[in-house]
Structures are given as structure tokens and as C-alpha cells.
Structure 1
Amino acid sequence: MLLSMTGFGEARAQEAGLAITAEVRSVNNRHLKISAKINDPYGRLEPELEQLAREYARRGTVQVSVRIERPRKVEDYRLNQVALASYREQLERLGGGPVDLGALLGLPGIVEEFRTAAPDVAGEWPVIARVATEALKNFEAARAREGAAMAAELLALVRSIRESLARVADRAPLLVQSYQKRLTERVQALVQEYGVAIDAKDLIREVAILADRSDVSEELVRLRAHLEQYEEILDGPESGGRKLEFVVQEMGREVNTVGSKSNDVEISRIVVEIKGVLERIRELVQNVE
């Protein structure tokens, strides 16, 4: 099962007097890089959050952020009646009439906030971890959906390469026949024009040399083996981005060899088509975990 290296997941919950929001996002990277952020005073839980994220990612740049808020209660605030009375008396003396108390609530020192006791960071971690885990599971599900779409496209591309290789396999034997025909016609022309005698053994040897140099059967066998391995990785239980990168690299080498051996316009055109497909595969594989 392929997993994309790009994804997003989030989760929210209100539990144990806490309002918790967790978000996970990632982009592709050849290695695993995790950044975990939690607002104060929970910052010391960041290593635990990073370790939790490592259970859900093996490659990519992953950012995990958790925001924790403690909803305020009525008893967390009180009016400073002395300050309120002082403001009121002074304003009434200046204005000569009663003052709306509601207008005074925004003045400095009127509403006092009680400082709550420091939170039990370690004790609240299980609640935080549950929300973070839910976000990570949503993140993994999003990556799996995108990975399934990429797997379908990668399979379609490999079918295209198989069809192209079949065309090369059909075309390759004709090259020797074509060369033999051209060489024979050239020899006959030389014999007629200059009376030069050509030993049949020499002609056969030249054809054999070209046949050996232009033989791409081994390359085609190895390419088909790479394609089988490629499909096995796609069907495997784990996401094999690194393995796919290696297999595609080997396929590219074999295709280059086929192109250099075959002195034929049609095969050269097919090789260019295969290289274009391989480039598209490389782009997709770079985003596979």
C-alpha cells in the first residue's frame, strides 16, 4: 500500500477542562524530519509528541502542532470595587451626574483575573495524546487516499512501458535483416562498378558483428524483470518509495543502453517515449513514502 508524503489531518476535543486542537501536515523529503510544537506551558511535552508522530511517518517533513486552551470560569474574575468606586466618584464630580457602570468595566484595574494554579502537564498528557493520535490517524488516512490514486497512475504508466518494450522486441530482429539487405546491395553495386570480389564469409562476419552490437535482448529481459519488481512493490503491504526510486533508476539505465545500441529511428522514437514515461514515474515516486 502506497502512502503519499504529503497530507493533512486534524482533530479537536474538549475534555478534562481543556480545549485541544491538533494539526498534522507534511511535505516530501528524502528523510524523516519531524517538528512538534505545543503552546506554553506544555512545551516540555514536545519530545513525546514527536515520538508519537514517528509511529505514523517514515519519510517526509512532518509538522505537528497542538494548541491547548483552558476555558475561563466565572470565578476566574472579580471586580475591584475600590477602583470602581474611585473611578465612579471622580467621573461624577467631573460630569455632575451619575455614570453608567458598564462604561467603567474596560478601564484599567477594574476587572482582576485570578492566576490559576500551574497545570498538571504530565497528568494531562494522556488526554492530549489521544487528540494528537486522532489527528495523526486522519493524517495517515489522507496520505493513504492520495497514495491509492498515485498507485493507480503508476500502474497505468508501467503498462505503457510494457507496450513500448513489446514494440521494441518486435522491431529489433528486423534491424539485422535490414542491415544485411543494405550491405548486400552495396556489395553488389561495388562488384558491378569495380569488379571487386567479396568473400561471402566477410559479408556474414559483418552482419554477425552488427547483430551482436545491436542485440538488446538482455536489456529487454532485465527491463521486464524490473517491471515485475516494480509491480510487486506497488502491491506490497508497505509503502516502498525508496525501493521504487532504485528500480526506476535501474530501468532508466537499461533504456539508455537500448537507445545507444539500436541504430534505428523507430526504436529511438520508442526509447524517447519510454524516457518520458519514466520521468513522470520519477515525479510521482518522489512523493511516495
Structure 2
Amino acid sequence: MLLSMTGHGEAHVDRDNVHVSVELRSVNNRYFKLNLRISDGYNGLESRIESLVRRYVHRGSVNANVRIVRDATPDDYHLNLTVLKSYRKQLESLCDELHLPELVHVNALLSLPGVVNERVGAAADADEDWSIVEAAVTQAAERLAEMRAEEGRAMQFDFERNAATITTELGEVESRAPLVVENYRTRLTERLNKLLAEYDVRVEPADVVREVGLFAERSDISEEIVRLRSHLEQFAAFIEQAESNGRKLEFLIQEMFREANTIGSKSNDARIAQHVVEIKTAVERMREMVQNVE
């Protein structure tokens, strides 16, 4: 089954006053690469998140955004009485010195730096919240995998359609190939007869046979046709396998293009050249698509 390297998956999990949002986006890459952004205090979970995403993605660059928010509880805040008393003492001293009425409300004191401290991102919290993060990342990764599989099915259809085009055009080339030598023999004979008539020159039949034989050897494309058809058969087998084989498919497409080029350069026939253009066009479309196959 083919898998696209492009996809998107999101998930949201709320449990035990913890809210986790995960967004995964993947694009093509020759190798696996994870670009992770995670809420402060949870950096210790990065390796676990990467291992989890790797279960679903083997090739591709994945951008992951993991946002973790804990609902505030009384235990999350600490009132620093020492700092509060210091602020209070300094304000009283200032009011006495400047002969000002003391109008400072307690809310103003609580808003001053260092009076109320928020406890954030302790290592124990990251471990405690891992099961929730794991659930959210798993859901997002599963949805990412579903999208990659759906796009992979569409790509497989396009691959099969282009492979069918190549097979059809290759059949036309194979049918035309024997006529190329025969046409060359006819043209050569006509030219020789014309020369013989004009200059009264004698040409041995063996010379004609030898020249036609050399041309047939130079223009023989039977091996290239066999190899190209073999590549098509292997390609069809690979896209039906359970595992996505992007690199193997990429190699086969390169070989197809090489064989098509050789056929075009050796054939020495305009009609075969037209079929080769269609073959190379289909192969080029496949080469562009395979860049996005895992």
C-alpha cells in the first residue's frame, strides 16, 4: 500500500484538569525528521513523542505542535509572605516620609513582582501528564496516517494509469521495430539502384546485406523493450505490497527513463520517436509523484 508523505492530523484530549492539543503536519523528505514545538516545562517528553510518531511515519518531515494547559488550582500558586511584608513596610515608610495617606489596597500588593509565584512545568508534572499527551499524540498520528493512506491510494491510481500508458506505447514500439530495418533495406536499395543507373556502378548483394545487418544491430531495441517491460512488472508488484516502497519505486522509475532514452536514440524512426515521447512524458509524471511516496 502506498503512503503519501503529505498529511495532517489533529487531536484534543481533556482529562484531570489537563488540556492537550496536538497538530501534526508532514511533508516529503528523504529521511524522517521531527520538528517539535511543545509547551514550556514539557521538553522532557520530546524523545517519547518522537518515538511515538515514528511508529506511524517512517519517511518525511513532520512538524508537530503540542500545547499542554493545566487548569489552575490553589496548589499551583505560592504566596511569598516575606516579599509581601517587605513591600508593605517600604510603602508605610514612604507614606510617613511624604506625609501621604495610606491608600494601597491589598490587590495592588498582590500584583507586585514576586508576591505570588506560579508553579510551572515541574518534571513530575510532565511524567504525570504523559498518559494524556500520549493519547492526544496517538490520535493525531492515526489521523495523519489515515490522510497519508488516502492520498497514497489516489497516487496508486495515477501510477497505474501512467504505467498503462507506457505499456500501450511500448507495445506500439515493439510492433513497429521490425519494420524499421525493412524500411531501411528498402530505402537503401532504392538509393543504390538510383546510383547504379546514373553511374553504372556495380554493388555486390553481400554488401547490401552486410550494411543492412549493421544497421539492424545498431538499431536493435529488443533488450531495452524487455528491460522496460520488466521494470513495469516490478513496479506493479511493489505498489501492491503492504509496505510503502518509495525508494524502490524511485529507482525503477529512473531505470524506466533510462531505457526509454536508449530506445529513442537507437530506433532511428520518427514514429517510434513519437511513442517514446509519450513514454517519457508518462515516466516524468511518475517521477514527480514518487518524490512524495514514503
TM range (shorter): 0.7 to 0.9
Q: How far off is 1:110 after superposition?
A: 6.0
CA distance in 1, matches of 2:252, 2:244: 14
Counterpart amino acid of residue 185 in structure 2: Q
CA distance in 2, matches of 1:129, 1:10: 13
Q: Does 1:224 align with 2:229?
A: yes
Q: Does 1:109 align with 2:110?
A: yes
1:146 to 1:105, Cα distance in 2 relative to 1, 3 A:
farther
Counterpart amino acid of residue 32 in structure 2: L
Q: Does 1:45 align with 2:50?
A: no
Q: How far off is 1:271 after superposition?
A: 1.2
Q: Deviations 1:232-281 (Å, cap 9, x if unpaired)? A: 11111111100000000111111111011011111112112211111111
1:280 to 1:120, Cα distance in 2 relative to 1, 3 A:
same
CA distance in 2, matches of 1:134, 1:22: 9
- 1:192 corresponds in structure 2 to 197
Counterpart amino acid of residue 253 in structure 2: V
3-state SS in 2 of match to 1:63: strand
Give the alignment's TM-score, normalised by structure 1: 0.86
Mean Cα displacement is larger for which, 163-172 or 33-42?
Answer: 33-42
Unmatched 5+ stretches in structure 1? 87-103
CA distance in 2, matches of 1:189, 1:230: 50
Q: How far off is 1:41 after superposition?
A: 0.9
Unmatched 5+ stretches in structure 2? 79-84, 92-104
CA distance in 2, matches of 1:286, 1:224: 22
CA distance in 1, matches of 2:127, 2:207: 88
1:201 aligns with one of 183, 187, 206: 206
1:108 to 1:280, Cα distance in 2 relative to 1, 3 A:
farther
1:28/1:286 contact within 8 Å kept = yes
Mean Cα displacement is larger for which, 110-119 or 67-76?
Answer: 110-119
Counterpart amino acid of residue 136 in structure 2: V
CA RMSD of aligned residues (A): 2.8
1:273 to 1:113, Cα distance in 2 relative to 1, 3 A:
same
1:145 to 1:107, Cα distance in 2 relative to 1, 3 A:
farther
Give the alignment's TM-score, normalised by structure 2: 0.85
CA distance in 1, matches of 2:251, 2:119: 57
Counterpart amino acid of residue 164 in structure 1: E
CA distance in 1, matches of 2:290, 2:130: 37
- 2:289 corresponds in structure 1 to 284
- 2:6 corresponds in structure 1 to 6
- 1:266 corresponds in structure 2 to 271
CA distance in 2, matches of 1:149, 1:228: 20
Matches of residues 242-261 of structure 1 in structure 2 within 5 Å?
242-261=247-266
2:163 aligns with one of 158, 166, 171: 158
Give the aligned length.
Answer: 278
Matches of residues 172-183 of structure 1 in structure 2 within 5 Å?
172-183=177-188
Q: How far off is 1:77 after superposition?
A: 8.2
2:18/2:129 contact within 8 Å kept = no
% identity of equivalent residues: 45
1:36/1:47 contact within 8 Å kept = no
1:23/1:64 contact within 8 Å kept = yes
Q: How far off is 1:38 after superposition?
A: 1.6
- 2:238 corresponds in structure 1 to 233
Mean Cα displacement is larger for which, 185-194 or 158-167?
Answer: 185-194
Q: How far off is 1:16 after superposition?
A: 2.0
3-state SS in 1 of match to 2:63: strand
1:212 aligns with one of 200, 213, 217: 217
Counterpart amino acid of residue 249 in structure 1: Q
Q: Deviations 1:6-36 (Å, cap 9, x if unpaired)? A: 1110100101220000111111111111122
Q: Deviations 1:65-109 (Å, cap 9, x if unpaired)? A: 21100123588789xxx99xx9xxxxxxxxxxxxxxxxx999673
Counterpart amino acid of residue 176 in structure 1: V
- 1:100 corresponds in structure 2 to none
